[in-house]
Amino acid sequence: MKQLILTIAILVYWQTVSAKQYDFVVSQDGSTDFLTVQEAIMAVPDFRDLPTVIFVKSGVYKEKILLPTTKTKVILIGEDALNTILTFDDYASKHNRFGEEMGTTGSSSFFVFGDDFTAKNLTFQNTAGPVGQAVAIRVTGDRAYFQHCRFLGFQDTLYAHGERSRQYYKSCYIEGTTDFIFGWSTAVFEDCEIYSKEGGQYITAASTLEDVAHGFVFINCRLTGDAPERKVYLGRPWRVHAKTVFINTEMGAHIRPEGWHNWNKPEAESTAYYGEFNSSGPGADSSARVAWSKQLNQNEIAAFSIAVILAGNDGWTPGVNLANKLWPSAHHKN
Scanning the chain, the segments in alpha helix (DSSP H) are 2-19, 37-42, 103-106, 268-271, 306-310, 320-326
Residue 114 region, left (φ>0) first, then alpha (ψ -120 to 50), else beta? beta
Q: Is 332 exposed, middle or buried (0-12, 13-18, 19+ CB in 10 A)?
A: exposed
Among the listed residues 195, 101, 185, 179, the one whose alpha carbon sits nearest the alpha carbon of residue 135: 179
With vertex at residue 240, the alpha carbon angle to CA 234 and CA 244, rounded to the nearest 5 degrees, is: 35
- C-alpha span between 306 and 291 (Å, rounded): 27
**Catalytic-labelled residue, pool 179, 191, 285, 314:** 179
Cβ–Cβ contacts within 10 Å for residue 196, how many? 27
Phi, psi of 322 (to 5 degrees): -60, -45
The SS3 of residue 43 is coil
Residue 179 is among the residues annotated as catalytic for this protein: yes
| Helix-then-strand count for the chain, H and E | 6, 26
Q: Give the residue numbers marked as catalytic.
A: 179
